[in-house]
Amino acid sequence: MGLFKKREDKIVDIDLHELEVESGNRLEHLPSPIRKLVAVVAIAWTVFQVYTALFGLFPAMIQRMTTLSFGLFLCFICFRMRKADTHKVPVYDWVLALAAVGLDVYIISTFSTLVKRGGNPTQMDIICGIILILLVLEATRRAVGKPLVIVALIFLLYAYFGPYLPGMISHRGYSVNRISSQMFLTAEGIFGTPMAVMTTFVYSFVVFGCFLEVTGGARLFIDLAFAMTGRFAGGPAKTAVVASGLLGTISGSGLANVVTTGSFTIPLMKSCGYDPTFAGGVEASSSSAGQIMPPVMGAAAFIMAETTGIPYLKICISAALPAVLYYMCVFLSVDFEARRCHLKTVDKDQVPPFLPTLKRCYPLLLPILTLIVMLIIGFTPLKASIYATVAMILMSFLSKETRLNGKRTFDALTKAAYNSVTVCVACAVCGIVTGVITLTGLGLKLSDLILRASGGHLFLTLLMTMIASIILGMGLPTTAKYIVLSAIAAPALVKLGVPLVGAHLFILYFGVIAEVTPPVALTSYAAAAVAKAPGVKTALQGLKISIGAFFIPFMFCYYPSLLFVDTSFGGMLSGLSSSFIGMICLCGCSIGYFFGPLKTWKRIFMFLGVALLMHPGILTDLFGAAVIILMILLQKREFKNTPAPAA
């Protein structure tokens, strides 16, 4: 979520404002001179990132430290340490913010000697490294939360107390000086892959998304989705699914999608008869999947490309079919719920006509097409996103509704920085985690432990990885979860024959679904605030609606053809048919409707049939298909004389 969001609906304003205050953000409460200073710094950060993207990056350490210093400065000014500091910036926050700038000045001024010294840090280098670690941990506590700080501290303690640990996880141990230099002076610490991705790909796509937002793209996409689905039963819920999918292709942020589309779709869903908790669950489950929907996805996808060496375009291609299957699952859940509850449709005069709405959208659809085409023909994601942003600026002038002006440009430049603060800080602290994993060789040790615990059985290994991801999801953002598990669990999956892209997408999927899964479920709670519904019940509804996310990752690990890896006609046909049938039946089990209300015992048997289909093999497929066909025949026989609700 950005540092400040303004919505037209006053009820939504109040709820989201409360969420922002609870998160520690104090920007709107600060005196005007400080807010103006923050805006200047934010614009300077965006200009720096765009300039280096267009005309060439500085040396890696300078580029990454400068990016991090901007992020830390804004974090210490915009996020409070204590509730008592909501309306002011105390002296110690200014000291922390200026310390971040001082470290950047130190790196720039001593860069030539740093390179020459190589692996021989001076005492000042060690002190600066310790200060940077402390700054990153404190900024993470403010902007992201305590759980990620605790994880980072555990890894730092592990690096120091290695000799005193038991069994396979022990190591020779490293001094404070060695840990500090690893984090501060190498590309395998704070300035490692996560910060490299933040400095380049992530920020440029955030700029792209912010210009789309200020030119009215979100509003137009919602109108387009409503024009496509509004006339059907339960249309507003289907609008939420389609609109969140469209926005997810370029925002990659579940919270941003909830705030943007939810303020429109949730009240409409409630007006059509949906329960408020179900309406919030639909929005949360639809919005969270923006991080798995190409062509942009989220920060974790860019880190995946850097970590695995797989081209970003290839990752997008592999992720496309599973993402479509996921949205199909959510769409079917919404349709079954509309049929089960006999929900009414929206009045026709409320639904905008499709072709005129599509015509209004084309100035902003063309830049997205530009982005996709440039990725296909071989441009780097950094260049493609910057050029697509330029195309969006130019195309916005074709319509009065989307035209950029001074205020919109100012909003886009500042929001890009504000929206990047949390990601920047999270990437920095994840660098600490990956730095310790690299230093101690922990990743391979834990990978071997996972293989031993599972007995080398693929299903058990996948199940253990899923559970670990959901547990980590109780406190870590998606990017952090992915970075930790990709170093620990992905090697075990690859050893068992899962394709590299499949192993990493498996981890990413469960990192994303953790945002909907109680007890944390941040997107579900944001949707609940908009829907005026209980948070836990909304999260449980979101979990029920997005049940396909627990099915799809297992499918593409067993059927790599779904990822367009080792593609064969037979494998693709088998995987698609099993997935398609399984998703339909799974949604029916979850909602409790299939041609008519599903009795509990039928739901159990149908779920068992889906579970059998999930495991490849002629015998399991035959038994699974037989169970599902039997349940379908029983349902059709029971409700053959009952007219089906319009949907």
Q: How far apart are CA 236 and CA 242, in angstroms?
A: 10
The SS3 call for residue 32 is: helix
Instruction: Quickly count: other Cβ atoms within 10 Å of residue 644's Cβ.
Output: 9
Stretch (H or E) spanning 465: helix 458-472
Q: What does the angle CA 101 – CA 42 – CA 29 come to, to the nearest 5 degrees?
A: 100
Tokens describing residue 74: 């804004």
The ranges assigned to domains in the chain are 10-169+177-190, 568-647
Residue with structure tokens 């009414």? 344
- CA distances from residue 461 to 501, 575, 632 in whole angstroms, order as listed: 16, 21, 32
**Residue 601: burial class (beta carbons within 10 Å; 0-12, 13-18, 19+):** exposed
Within 8 A by CB and 6+ apart from 18, the residues are 529
The SS3 call for residue 378 is: coil
Q: How far apart are CA 118 and CA 111, in angstroms?
A: 11
pLDDT of residue 74: 96
pLDDT of residue 137: 96
Q: How far apart are CA 613 and CA 615, in angstroms?
A: 5
Instruction: Quickly count: other Cβ atoms within 10 Å of residue 80's Cβ.
Output: 23
Q: How far apart are CA 559 and CA 328, in angstroms?
A: 18
Residue with structure tokens 């002296």? 91
Tokens describing residue 37: 């200073």
Residue with structure tokens 């997008």? 316
CB 252 within 8 A of CB 523: no
Closest CA to 252 of 194, 210, 307, 190: 210
The SS3 call for residue 113 is: helix
- CA distances from residue 10 to 158, 263, 274, 276 in whole angstroms, order as listed: 49, 10, 21, 18
Q: How far is CA 376 from the centre of its chain?
A: 23
The predicted-structure confidence for 204-239, as pLDDT tens digits, reads as follows 888 988 888 888 877 777 888 888 887 777 677 788
Mean pLDDT by 10 residues, the chain (647 residues): 36 42 75 94 96 89 95 95 88 96 94 77 92 96 88 93 86 92 90 89 86 82 82 76 74 68 78 84 83 78 86 89 88 85 74 83 82 84 88 88 90 92 90 90 82 86 84 72 83 90 90 75 80 85 85 88 80 78 86 86 87 77 84 84 56
The SS3 call for residue 25 is: strand
Task: Tell me the three-class secondary structure of 499-547, residue by residue.
Answer: CHHHHHHHHHHHHHHCCCCCCCCHHHHHHHHHHCCCHHHHHHHHHHHCH
Query: Percentages helix, strand, coil for the chain, rounded to the nearest 5?
Result: 80, 0, 20
Tokens describing residue 437: 């994993």
The SS3 call for residue 171 is: coil
The SS3 call for residue 79 is: strand
Closest CA to 212 of 269, 264, 253, 266: 253
Q: Is the dihedral of CA 436, 440, 445, 447 positive or negative?
A: positive
Q: How far apart are CA 403 and CA 413, in angstroms?
A: 16
Residue with structure tokens 């090697």? 491
Identity of the residue numbered 342: H
Closest CA to 25 of 103, 115, 85: 85
Packing angle between helix 91-117 and helix 123-143, nearest 10 degrees? 140
Q: How far apart are CA 148 and CA 82, in angstroms?
A: 19
Closest CA to 417 of 36, 15, 41: 41
Stretch (H or E) spanning 311: none
pLDDT of residue 8: 35
**Residue 292: burial class (beta carbons within 10 Å; 0-12, 13-18, 19+):** buried
